[in-house]
Amino acid sequence: MILAPSILTADFLRLGDQVEAALAAGVRWLHLDVMDGRFVPNISFGPLVARALRPLATRYDAILDAHLMIVDPERYLEEFVAAGCERITVHVEACTHLHRTVQSIHALGARPGVALNPATPLGALEEILPEVDLVLVMTVNPGFGGQSFIAGGLDKVARLRQMLRARRLDAVDIQVDGGVNSETIGPLRDAGATVAVAGSAIFAPDRGVAGAIGALRAALGERR
């Protein structure tokens, strides 16, 4: 399973050090939670932070994964790709013309993902599934780190994996995001998730970043 730390809960006074600690612990996927205060009730950061982290990601051959929790995300696709994001995930609920937005991400040379809020049914993916590299199943209501895992997410991941298998789209990643920790990460992997986003489980101040990553790997039965 790929671990993708969400920097939203990192200590922004020392963001570079914290991200480097995660990279040094073997992480190669950084999850950037972009929030506009309209699609979600919080404002986080924009392409500036991706641009700041790009040299560090390059040094470790890691990717930047922009999770756009913003209305009309097509307005900013170019800026996030230019800032160095290889993955761009947009919310189904935020796109009037989702197919066109996904095509635009492809055209910019990035790999598109689509995200579903907890109450959005998998049926919303029917037509777009063959066009994307990743589906992000939100296991909290978006907007904040440190929330509790929504248990229904487990079954949703399992149903999505079945859906992908039935359509011979097994290569599509299922990314889970929100409340992922040592208790939930194993069942999520077993249900078919392939990328685990974790914020507070990795950057919570009570333990070091490397130790937190090791604990998640141990929960997966992997070498720490």
19/140 with CB nearer ligand DX5: 140
Handedness of CA 193, 107, 101, 46 (dihedral sign): positive
33/36 with CB nearer ligand DX5: 33
- 65 in contact with ligand DX5 (CB under 6 A): no
Q: What's the token pair of residue 142? A: 């978006």
Nearest approach, Cβ of residue 33 and Zn ion (Å): 4
Count of helix runs (H) and strand runs (E) in the chain? 8, 8
Active site residue 61: no
Quote the CA–CA distance of 3 and 66 in Å, as a whole number.
15
Quote the CA–CA distance of 69 and 145 in Å, as a whole number.
13
Nearest approach, Cβ of residue 19 and ligand DX5 (Å): 14
Nearest approach, Cβ of residue 87 and Zn ion (Å): 11
Active site residue 33: yes
33/36 with CB nearer Zn ion: 33
- Counting beta carbons within 10 angstroms of the beta carbon of residue 151, is it exposed (0 to 12), middle (13 to 18) or buried (19 or more)? exposed
In our burial notation (b when 16+ CB lie closer than 10 A, e otherwise), range 58-75 reads eebebbbbbbbbbbbbbe
Helix residue spans in 60-199 (DSSP H): 77-82, 98-107, 152-166, 185-191
Using CB under 6 A as the binding rule, the residues of this chain from 158 to 217 that contact ligand DX5 are: 177-180, 197-201
User: Can you give the binding site for Zn ion, defined by CB under 5 A?
Assistant: 33, 67, 177
User: Can you give the binding site for ligand DX5, defined by CB under 6 A?
Assistant: 6, 8-9, 31, 33, 67, 69, 140, 142-143, 145-147, 177-180, 197-201
User: Which residues belong to the active site?
Assistant: 33, 177
